[in-house]
Amino acid sequence: MARPFDSSTSGDGPPRRVIVTGFARGIGAAIAEAFAARGDQVVGLDRLADEAACTAARIGATAVECDLSEPDAVDRAMAEAIDRLDGVDVLVNNAGIFAIRPLLDISADDWDRMFDVNVRSMLLATQAGARAMIDGGTGGRIVNMASMGGKDGAAGQAHYAASKAAVISLTQVAAKELGPHGITVNSICPGYVLTDMGADTRTDEMVAEWSSLSPLGRCGEESDIADVALFLASRAASYLTGQAIDVSGGMCMR
């Protein structure tokens, strides 16, 4: 028998069954850790098998290797994750790639690769997760990682910005179709976030320039995004759906 969905952010409620894509490092790892710290059961999907295994061991989660650019791999990994959890209450579609390339230099392959990972994998994971939530009859939460670039794309980011705009639109349509099943769907739009992945290439001058774009005078941290993901999966956000929430320190206001 399906148990009632409990979206409390406190540790007092029963553990939720959570799937996080792209969870080996960075924002995905921070989100997975936040849910695990609450006592939730977490399964993470990532192609970086060794790093994902380390993250899983550190936070008490389970890792499933998956190249999210491959449709069959997404289907298999989602089925395995749902089977391991015996269902799913929360799906966080975090996996994504980023690249800078002038508009006139973007190839068809560049474009397809960006959309394969950033949008198509999200569609497929959402389909599998939503079907499991509907079958369970208890509703659920889906959180999609977009970007402030999906609202205000920068030069050199045409394919990335377009993919994140697609994420925002996908979120809105999914919210309309899945709402009758008690499933909320929202997206997060981070600004500049200081992740370990970019630590080797950024300079103090770059960080200062990015920080100056925020009225708060700083760049984001991984925990800033994880906190919002946790909120969107909580009871406090039960009447919030179809939204693209800026978590950019005011760098983007729309």
What amino acid positions are annotated as catalytic residues? Answer: 160
CA distance 14 to 3: 10
The Cα-based distances of 190 to 42, 116, 180, 240 in angstroms read 22, 20, 28, 18
CB distance 171 to 185 below 8 Å: yes
Token pair listed for 101:
């390339």
CB distance 84 to 133 below 8 Å: no
Token pair listed for 215:
């009225």
In this structure, is the dihedral angle defined by the CA atoms of residues 39, 41, 47 and 49, taken in order, positive or negative? positive
CB distance 108 to 62 below 8 Å: no
Which of 228, 246, 221 is CA-nearest to residue 26?
221
Beta carbons within 10 angstroms of residue 85's beta carbon = 20
Token pair listed for 112:
């397809």
